[in-house]
Chains A and B, each alone.
Chain A
Amino acid sequence: MTFSPELEAKFEKLLKSYPPGRQRSAVVPMLLYAQDELGSVTGELVEEVARRTGITPLEVNEVVSYYSMLSRQPRGKYHIQICTNISCLLTGGEELWEHACRKLGIGNKEVTPDGQFSLEEVECIGACSWAPALQVNYEFHHHMTPEKLDRLIDNLRKAV
């Protein structure tokens, strides 16, 4: 399996970052970076990471299925994660979540038919001081309201 030259360079650096025989330490970052490039963690990717780190595909799968930020299902181009943990919940996170579901017509861990958006209800993302908060891919958006969310989604649609 081949990746972009940038990703290959990242992998090479990662695999050299750990002492010989400890290459399995690179499994999580490798999967994360590769997921960004491929859109999801594919079976082929699991095999490839296992091969490069010298562990079994089952061991890679243990990691993939454990971490919620790694997904076997393809996500939308814009993966919207809305926090409904305590601080966000108290400041309207729940309403924000319901609004997002209605607006996009999808539920938790689902993708819009055009493949542009996916939604995920997440636990605390460490932005309690600016609750309610959400995350689009790696971007944080603070003090969200349903109106701000509408604008955000409309702008992203235009960017498409």
Chain B
Amino acid sequence: MANVKLTIDGKTVEAPANTLLIEAARRAGIEIPAFCYYEGLALQAACRMCLVEVEKAPKLMTACTLPVAEGMVVRTNTPQVAQARKSMLEFVLTNHPLDCPVCDKGGECELQDMVFRYGAGESRFLEVKQHVDEREWSPVVFYDRPRCILCFRCVRICAEGMGVAALGVVNRGASSEIAPNRGDHLECDECGMCIDICPVGALTSGTYRYRTRPWEMQHVGTICTHCADGCKTTLGIRNNRIHRGNNRDRSGVNGEFLCIKGRYAGDFAHHEERLLTPLVRSQDGFKPVSWAEAIKTVAGRFAEIRQRGGKFGVIGSNHTTNEENYYLQKLARTGLGTNNIDHHRTGDVLSLLRARVPLATTADLYHSKAVLIVGVDLAQQHSFLAYQIRANWRHHQARVYTVRRGPVREDKIAARIVSVEPGGELAGVETLRDDLAKEPELVILFGDAIQGEAVARLTEFGSSLGIPVKYVCLVDYSNSRGAVEMGVLPAEGGMTLPEMMAAGDLDALWVVGANPLRRHALAGKPFLVVQDLFLTETAQAADVVLPAASAYEKSGTVTNVCGEVQRLQKAFETPGTKTDLEIFGLIAREMGLDLKQLGPWTPSAVFAEIARTVPGYDLPVEVLEAGGAVQAGPSDGLPDAVWAPVQSAGDTLFTSGTLGRYSKMLNAVREAPGELYRA
């Protein structure tokens, strides 16, 4: 669209026609204050903080609803505008309790900032302030009516951003208030978007409320360890404890988006059942031992088995870092001399990498003109990807196609919906051929319903459309993709995970950050070493249990579902635990392995080796160091790796494998464990 020229505060500003005045000013470095205006959401025009003088207009205009026009002359710094702002703030404060000293938002409150800059120190209102008690709408969301300034941000982010519409505004005038969808309580995603977007302290979270002050925490930006979407979460840490997670600075691929897991499910790290000391099995159960003794026990047995040419099995994790995965497979292959290494495969990344087709980024989901979702309940399993697609539909009118076994949230925004029986996904996709071929471009997302041969057929279908097509293979957990690309897979001749579990003749089985006994029975009696945070089913059967650090307690990189590599930042420590990487190093050293060949066990050194040796991972370290995301690739398709069937863990919004079982918040919400359409 053509640009128009206008004048704001004497400054000539150029902006595309139809730009809102508030945005044009913002881009020119002139701030027009507003509460209700929020980039990306529908216009509300409720707060009247953005009033400005426009020449030839009879009265002040709201800059948030006024499109710029050629020759427009705007003034934002006149006494009249200052008076308007002051008066609006006086209004907003009519019933506001001014309880800033105890309010969660104190110190990072937009109302505080506005009153500080534009407000009046005195109020002319003499009336007694209306008081309404705080209400608990769910274990996550609390509402404090007197603090609310009725900007409707929460209502809009829930309806538009999340597609849930769990919040509304009831009553009118001074007794208006935000209301939850179930009268006195909420039934929703419990994501906390409403809480974070609240400019004041009206909505507070069960995790953070009245715990600490914003300025007393360290704010550490790291990557959420739950699902594979790779959202950046900024953890608020005080005294080695997570007090909240949010992403208000919109860093990371997810902008300000986070679901309940990224915001409130970090509490697993502080669960009282967290393993804090190594355990060695004796006649009467587990005996707590020192780290030195535990490492000695493991290394001693490993060395002895190695020496006599015994059989090892190694099961890696889909939520440890790339560095850990890489080091583990190298240690297994060169140190233990075994090719029996695998992990719980939740999506057929391997087949997709082998198809050598373009892979989509999370940003592509927001920009692509069309999106096809095959065989997955995206809003439940990949809430960030679903959020991106919803935003794309809202902002760019993207056409969304769903092929699924039952109703999903994406149906509401779908151009076409195809219902299929289990196994009928590919045939369902085929029925969309004519529609899809008319699209200028397409991103196809698929879950574990498409695997093996079906992946090849799906990509052939995509290629035959004659349009640019990109793909996302949906996987669970924070680093499933990385586990594949780092080679936590058997090469030809090696055993897969189910084969290892069923073998019966393994001398040692080393399980890192995984719980295979939940799905498979273990045949035979191998020497079982388990590294984990909790005494899982697998750890309970172990001979040695080594307490591992969580992703929030370590550095390194992880690769999300779209292949975007991002850096973890260590946020705090849980004394007694060690990172998996350090445990690997200590075992290797104790075994007397060739440390020169294995290399140092620091994340940066291992990453440097990954960059040299793993195709697609020669990534700009500066970008990662700065907290950015870079898509890995192209991959060589891991020609040596053995293919095996995959199965999604089927986690919902409120479950997250083992970690989810130990998150009190995830289990406290009444919606838990949520429903998948195929359940």
Chain A contact residues, CB within 8 Å of chain B: 56-59, 61-62, 65-66
B171 touches A59 (CB 8 A): no
Q: How far is the CA of A48 from the CA of B167 in the complex (A)?
A: 19
- Contact at A58–B171, with CB atoms within 8 Å? no
B165 adjacent to chain A (CB < 8 Å): yes
Contact between chains at B165 and A62 (CB < 8 Å):
no
Measured between C-beta atoms, what is the minimum distance from B152 to chain A in Å?
11
Residues of A within 8 A of B171 (CB): 65-66
In the complex, A59 Cα to B172 Cα: how many Å? 14
**B181: Cβ under 8 A from any A Cβ:** yes
Cβ of B169 < 8 Å from any Cβ of A?
yes
Which residues of A lie under 8 Å from residue B415 when comparing CB positions? none
Question: A56 near B181 (CB under 8 angstroms)?
Answer: yes
Cβ contacts A to B, 18 pairs, < 8 Å: A56-B165, A56-B181, A58-B165, A58-B166, A58-B167, A58-B179, A58-B180, A59-B165, A59-B168, A61-B168, A61-B179, A62-B168, A62-B179, A65-B170, A65-B172, A66-B170, A66-B171, A66-B172
Q: How distant is the Cα of A62 from the Cα of B165 in the complex, in angstroms?
A: 13
* A60, closest chain B residue (CB): B168
Bound together, the chains give a CA A12 to CA B179 distance in angstroms of: 30
C-alpha spacing A57/B187, complex, angstroms: 13
How many residue pairs bridge A and B at CB < 8 Å? 26
Rounded to whole Å, the gap between the CB of A14 and the closest CB of chain B is 22
Q: How far is the CB of B137 from chain A (nearest CB, A)?
A: 12
Q: Closest approach, in angstroms, between the C-beta of A155 and any C-beta of chain B? A: 35
- Give Cα A9 to B326, complex, Å: 71
Cβ contacts under 8 Å, B172 to chain A = 65-66
Q: Mark B151-188, 1 if CB is under 8 A from A, else 0.
A: 00000000000000111111110000001110000000
Q: B170 — which chain A residues lie within 8 A by C-beta?
A: 61-62, 65-66
Q: Which residue of B lies closest to A64 (CB)?
A: B170
Question: How far does the Cβ of B406 sit from chain A's closest Cβ, in whole Å?
Answer: 20
7 interchain residue pairs of minimum CB distance: A65-B170, A58-B168, A58-B181, A62-B168, A65-B171, A66-B172, A62-B170
Chain B residues packing against A (C-beta within 8 Å)? 165-172, 179-181
A61, B171: Cα distance in complex, Å: 9
Q: List chain A residues, Cβ under 8 A from B179.
A: 58, 61-62
What residues of B have a CB within 8 angstroms of the CB of A61 in the complex?
A: 168, 170, 179
Chain A nearest CB from B44 CB (Å) reads 14
Task: Tell me, rounded to whole Å, the shortest Cβ–Cβ distance linking B399 to chain A.
Answer: 18
A57 CB contacts on chain B under 8 angstroms: 181
Least Cβ–Cβ distance between B178 and chain A, in angstroms: 10
**Most B CB atoms within 10 A — which of A58, A65, A66?**
A58
Q: Which residues of B contact A65 (CB under 8 A)?
A: 170-172
CA gap between A59 and B165 in the complex, in Å: 9
Complex contacts, A59 vs chain B, CB 8 Å: 165, 168
Known A58-B167, A65-B171, A66-B172; further 9 A-B contacts with Cβ < 8 A: A56-B165, A58-B165, A58-B166, A58-B179, A58-B180, A61-B170, A62-B170, A65-B170, A66-B170
**Shortest Cβ gap from B106 to chain A (Å):** 30
Please indicate the chain B residues that have their CB under 8 angstroms from the CB of A58 in the complex.
165-168, 179-181
Measured CB to CB, the closest approach of chain B to A83, in angstroms, equals 19
C-alpha gap A95/B236 in the complex (Å): 61
A56 CB to closest chain B CB, in angstroms?
Answer: 6
A98 vs B169: C-alpha distance when bound (angstroms)? 34
**In the bound complex, what is the Cα–Cα distance between A65 and B168 (angstroms)?**
11
Chain A: CB-nearest residue to B177: A65
Considering residues B166, B167, B181, which has the most beta carbons from chain A within 10 angstroms of its beta carbon? B181
Question: Which residue on chain A has the smallest CB distance to residue B169?
Answer: A62
Closest to A56 in B: B165
In the complex, A59→B180 CA distance in Å? 11
Q: Which residues of A contact B181 (CB under 8 A)?
A: 56-58
For the complex, what is the distance from the CA of A111 to the CA of B382, rounded to whole Å? Answer: 53
Chain A residues contacting B167 (CB-CB under 8 Å) are 58
CB distance from A91 to the nearest CB of B (A): 27
CB nearest to B172 among chain A residues: A66
Q: How far is the CB of A116 from chain B (nearest CB, A)?
A: 28
- Docked Cα-Cα span, A133 to B168, in Å, equals 36
- Distance (Å) between the CB of B638 and the closest chain A CB? 48
Bound state CA distance, A133 and B622, in angstroms?
77
Q: In the complex, how many angstroms separate the beta carbon of B148 from the nearest chain A beta carbon?
A: 15
Tell me the bound Cα distance from A128 to B180 in angstroms: 40
Residues of B contacting A66 with CB < 8 Å?
170-172
Report chain A residues within 8 Å CB of B180.
58
Q: How far is the CB of A64 from chain B (nearest CB, A)?
A: 8
CB distance from A136 to the nearest CB of B (A): 25
Task: Report the minimal beta-carbon distance from A100 to chain B, rounded to whole angstroms.
Answer: 25
In the assembly, what is the distance between CA of A59 and CA of B155, in Å? 11
A56: which B residues are within 8 A, CB to CB? Answer: 165, 168, 181
Measured CA separation A61–B170 after assembly (Å) = 7
CA distance A66 to B171 in the complex (A): 5
